[in-house]
Amino acid sequence: MDNIKNWSKNELVAYILLYVANADLHETTEEKDFILTKVDKETYAAIHKQFDRDNDYQCIQNIIEGVKSHDYFRDDYAELFADIKLLLYADGEADRMEESTLLFLRKILKED
């Protein structure tokens, strides 16, 4: 699971959503449930293990590397960012740290 270049699109999406969900250092049940609407339980569990091993810098590098190496979104991040916005409100309210993380991801993924 360590080689980002071998990740599927679902694995990458799960990782990104986990990163945002944990921006406030707390992943709620509602956030987990939302992520599970996007990926199966096995993918979620495997990606969560990887996510738990990574520090913040590694998470960002994995996201950048995954997006660039796979070109899954082909410069159209609308679906990904829509999923992130839905995740932000999965537990009823968007936390400031999660909102900031969304803005940060927009910046690093859309600008080289």
The rounded radius of gyration (Å) of the Cα atoms in the chain is: 13
Closest CA to 64 of 97, 22, 19: 19
The overall average pLDDT reported for the chain is 89
Q: Taking 50 as the threshold, does the pLDDT of residue 50 lie above it?
A: yes
Give the span between the Cα atoms of 61 and 15, in whole angstroms. Answer: 12
Closest CA to 51 of 86, 85, 11: 11
Half-sphere exposure of 97 (CA within 13 A, CB side): 9
84: number of Cβ within 10 Å:
22
pTM of the model: 0.89
Digit-coded pLDDT (tens) for 23-40: 999 899 999 999 999 999
Domain interval for residue 56: 4-110
**Cβ-count burial of 59 within 10 angstroms (0-12 exposed, 13-18 middle, 19+ buried)?**
middle
Q: DSSP secondary-structure letter at 5?
A: G
pLDDT the model gives residue 12: 94
Q: Domain total for the chain?
A: 1
